[in-house]
Amino acid sequence: MIMSNKPKKRWGDRSDGRRIRSLDPFYFFTPYIMKTRIGSSNQIKITVEVTNMEKYINKKRSEGLKGFGALHLILAAYVRTVSQLPALNRFISGQRIYARYDIQCMMAVKKDMTIDGEETVIKAHYSPEDTVETVFEKFNTIINNTKQVKENNVESTAKILMYLPRFLIRFTVGLLKFLDYFGILPKFLLEISPFHGSFFITSMGSLGIPAIYHHLYDFGNCPAFCCYGPKYYKNEIDKNGETVRRKYMDMTFVLDERTCDGLYYAQALKKMLKYINNPDLLDTEEITVIEDVD
């Protein structure tokens, strides 16, 4: 593993990320021109042929990773991509660009799959050098803990706010936005916030509907939302003129375009898809960890 020296924390950095100061002036002005994440989002849909994915999933399950699935593979591919293309893990706060200290992946989960089932958001913390097994274990530990706990910190905080008068809720949210803008939101609030993180992922496959383009949130600083749908079959003509049946899965990404340019995003998506289409690389390829620019 190759790792560059981590930059030291300086004045103007946040508790969840360090300010990037060496970018071109264009990046400095962009957050002032495009002020919101929703107004700065780009959308893309990608279709993946899942033969190699399913073989890899079955292999990992046979190795003892019970319950390993497409979700864990996508997360592992994202983490590995960030290790080599770290600008994917930037975020905008207070109209400044920051590099996040770690990789934070979030997902909304239901404690039971019913219409009335309680829903909460979990957040898993990863390091760029994490392996597939580490990604799987960290995520499943949080899932299991969430199901065992009657009420987590996100739900407890929401219930407290629910009993406040509307003008106090508006004041509280406004205060949180003010603190967040200047980078002084307490660390424990950043941790329980479902709107602060690197990457939000959701599965439409479990709901039986196609992948949607999920909006980003203007509150918080999450710059990327990924959604994947159910697997489906298509009949196609191969190069020999024969009809073949192949299985596919659609993935959608909604990305904050202010954090890096289109070429960089394109390279990041291509690399992530390389790992999804050829997942054995996650086990055989040497992990090269690159730090973002100063």
pLDDT in tens, 156-188: 777 777 888 889 989 999 999 999 999 999 999
pLDDT, averaged across the chain: 91
pLDDT tens string 41-57: 999 999 999 999 999 99
For residue 149, pLDDT beyond 80 = no
For residue 1, pLDDT beyond 60 = no
Q: What is the pLDDT of residue 2?
A: 46
Q: How far is CA 162 from CA 117, 192, 224, in A?
A: 19, 16, 28
Please report which helix (H) or strand (E) contains residue 202, including its range.
Answer: strand 199-203
pLDDT tens string 3-14: 455 677 788 899
Q: What is the pLDDT of residue 160?
A: 78
Q: How far is CA 211 from CA 77, 114, 135, 224, in A?
A: 19, 20, 23, 15
Q: How far apart are CA 259 and CA 72, in angstroms?
A: 25
Q: What is the pLDDT of residue 213?
A: 96
For residue 274, pLDDT beyond 70 = yes
Q: How far apart are CA 211 and CA 205, in angstroms?
A: 8
Q: Which residue is it, tokens 């159910």?
A: 230
Q: Average pLDDT, stretch 188-207?
A: 93
Residue extents of the structural domains in the chain: 2-289
| Amino acid, res. 52 | N
Cβ atoms of residues 14 and 181 within 8 Å = no
Closest CA to 256 of 50, 98, 59: 98
pLDDT tens string 102-131: 999 999 887 666 666 677 889 999 999 999
Domain 2-289, CATH: 3.30.559.10
